[in-house]
Amino acid sequence: MEQRNEDGDMDMEIENPDCGESPQPSAAQQQLHLPPGGEQANCSPMDSVSTLVSQYFGGQRPPPNEVPSLNYMNQHMQLFHEAPSQACSMPHEPLPSRIPISKSLIKEGYLMKRGEHIKNWRRRYFILYQDGTFFGYKVKPKTQKEYLQPLNNFTVKNSKALFMDTPKPFTFLLRGLQGTNIVDRMFYVETNAEREAWVNAIVNVTNMHKSSGECPATVSTASDAVEPPELPRNKVSLSDFEMLKVLGMGTFGKVVLCREKASSNLFAIKILKKSVLIEKDEVIHTMTENRVLQTCRHPFLTQLKYSFQTEDRLCFVMEYVNGGELYFHLLHDRVFSEERTRFYAAEIVTAIGYLHDMNIVYRDLKLENLLLDEMGHIRIADFGLCKEEMQYGVMTKTFCGTPEYLAPEILDENDYGRSVDWWGLGVVSYEMMCGRLPFYSRDHEILFELIMNDSVRIPANLSSQAQDFLARLLIKEPSRRLGGSTLDAVDVMRHPFFAGIDWVKLTKKEIPPPWKPEVRDACDTRYIPDEFLREPVQLTPPAAPGPVSASGTRWPTDGPNFEKFSFYGSRTSLSSYMSSTSMGDH
C-alpha cells in the first residue's frame, strides 16, 4: 500500500478508478487544523497527527453507513461554448531573486528531516544563511536556478534549537512561531558533533538578530489577513434578542435560536467565547470567517445579518436554516439517488464557483457544513477555514481541514490552490451516491496514505456519467482534476453528469428541489439533535480577562484582536446579486 521514493517521500499514484468496495468507515470523523509546520504548542513532538485533532462546531460523528437504522455566472457562462487556453504562473513563498552564496552562507550539509504531517524521515540538503534563512533541497543545488527553488523555506530568527535523543539519537528540534502557534521541525544527524555544530550555528544566527534589534521573524510570512472597509457602527447587543433554543454546541461556544425583539424575525446566533478563541489560537480564523460572511452574498451560502461583540464574546447573527444537515439526512436515507445528488452538487458548484470568483478558497467542504433550507435548497455554512486573496494560480500551504476530506496535495506538503475544493466536492458527491467515504481508516496516518496513494473504487451500479464525474473530481494531480483549469467551476458545470441543468433557473431557485424538509414553520427544530435542544440557553458569566494563548502570549479580550469585528448591514444585497446574474441560454 505504501510507496516511498529513495529519500523517504511518499510517491504519488495516479488512479484508474475501478469498481468494487472501499474499506467501510468505522470511527467518528474529526476536524483537523494544524499550522503548516507540525505540532501545536501543547503536544509532544513525537505525537502522531491523530493526537493533534481539534474540534470546531459540531463534534465527532460516525460515517453514514455506521449509524443504524451570480455575477460570477454572468462573467463566465460564455465559456460553455468556448474555452481558450491561458498561461498562468503559480507563485510560491517569496524568495530572493539572487542568493549571495559565498558571502551570507553560515553552514550547509545533509540532514534527516521528519515529515511535517506524514511522519517519515526525508534526507534533505540544508543551507543556513546569515539573514536567518534556512533552505532545504532534495539534493545539493549546483546552479543558481536550483538554489532559488528550495523544497523548504524556513527561518531560524526568533526560534529555539533543542537537543533531543528521541525518537532517534542525535536529534534536534527547531522551535519557532507560525502566527501565534508554536511550530516544531525535527532533524537528526549521525553524530553528536554534527548536531552540536548545527545547533551552535542556528543559535549564533538567532542571537545575531536579537542583538541587532531586528523585529522577530516567524516561521511563515504568509498572512490570512485582509482588512475590510470601515462600516457604520450602529449599536446591536444580545439584549435585542430573545433566546429560545440551543441549536449546537462546541469548544468555542454555542449556536442559539433567537428572536429579534424589534422585528420578531428568527436568527441563529453563533456565540463564541473570546477567551477560548485566544487560548486555542483561533482568532485569525474567526476574523476571516467574519470578513467572508460580510463580503459574500449568494443564494446557496448562509447569510450574515449582524456581527457584534460583548466584553467576553463574539456574536454572529445568521439566517436560521432549519432543514437540517445533509449528513443528518444521509444517515436516515443511507444513500441518495443520482438525481438528488446531482441537484445538491449543482448548487454547491455555483456557490464554490462564486467564492473562487471572490478569490476565496473554502477548504472545508463536508456533509456537516451543507445545510438545507425549509424548501430543500443548499446552504453552505462555517467559513472559518477560508483562505482569502486566492486568485487562480496563487498557492498556499496551511495544513487544515477535516481528515477524511483533505486533498492529496495538502497531505503531500505541497503548495495548493483552488482545486482542493473540487476534491472536496468529489468526496461529498461520493458519499451521497455510495453511502460511504472514498477513503477511510480509523488511523489518520493510514487514512492519509490511502488518500495519497490508493485508487478510488467506484461502484459499477452508478451510471457512466456519475462514475466519470467522481473519478475526475478525485484525480490526485490537482492540475488534471475536474475544475483544476482556469475554467474552474465552468469546467465542472460542463461535465455530462450535469447535462440538462438550467444554471440560470438553478441559481434563481426556480428548479424544485428533489426533496423538501418536513418542517411545520420557521420555529420547527425537528432536524436538530435532542442533546442540543435540552441544553439551557443561558450564557455563563465572563471569564477572567487576559487569557494566555497556546504560544504563551497574554492578550486582553477587549484589545486590538477583535477590532473591526462588528457589522450591521449587507454590503451587497442578495436581490442585487440575483438581478445582476444573467447567463443567457446555453
Question: Catalytic positions, please?
Answer: 364
Beta strands in 251-336 (DSSP E): 253-260, 266-273, 304-309, 313-319
Phi, psi of 324 (to 5 degrees): 90, 165
Interacting residues of 391 by C-beta distance below 8 A, sequence separation 6+: 359
CB atoms within 10 A of CB 42: 9
Q: Largest alpha-carbon pair distance within the chain?
A: 75
Helix (H, G, I), strand (E, B) or coil at 471: helix
Strand order in the sheet with 266-273: 241-250, 253-260, 266-273, 313-319, 304-309
C-alpha cell read off for 50:
491523530
The one-letter amino acid code at 304 reads L
Phi, psi of 271 (to 5 degrees): -110, 115
Q: How far apart are CA 402 and CA 10, in angstroms?
A: 21
C-alpha cell read off for 161:
534549537
Q: How far apart are CA 482 and CA 478, in angstroms?
A: 8
C-alpha cell read off for 26:
468505522
Query: Do residues 106 and 205 lie in contact, with contact meaning Cβ atoms separated by under 8 Å?
Result: yes
Helix (H, G, I), strand (E, B) or coil at 212: coil
CA nearest 474: which of 422, 409, 433, 437? Answer: 422
The CA–CA distances, whole Å, from 312 to 233, 547, 556, 572 equal 19, 11, 10, 30
CA nearest 64: which of 340, 329, 345, 339? Answer: 329
Determine how β-strand 160-164 pairs with β-strand 152-155. unpaired
Is residue 270 marked as binding?
A: yes
Helix (H, G, I), strand (E, B) or coil at 165: coil
CA nearest 306: which of 348, 276, 274, 262? Answer: 262
Q: How far apart are CA 335 and CA 384, in angstroms?
A: 28
Each residue of 470-493: b (16+ CB within 10 Å) or e?
A: bbbbbbbebeebbbbbebbbbbbb
C-alpha cell read off for 212:
541587532
Terminal C-alpha separation, the chain: 45
Q: How far apart are CA 163 and CA 169, in angstroms?
A: 10
Task: For CA atoms 411, 412, 417, 421, give the dihedral sign.
Answer: negative
Helices 419-434 and 326-333: angle between axes, nearest 10 degrees: 30
Each residue of 432-455: b (16+ CB within 10 Å) or e?
A: bbbbbbbbbbeebebbbbbbbbbb
126: β partners: 109, 136
The one-letter amino acid code at 24 reads Q
Binding site per annotation, positions for ATP: 270
Binding site per annotation, positions: 270
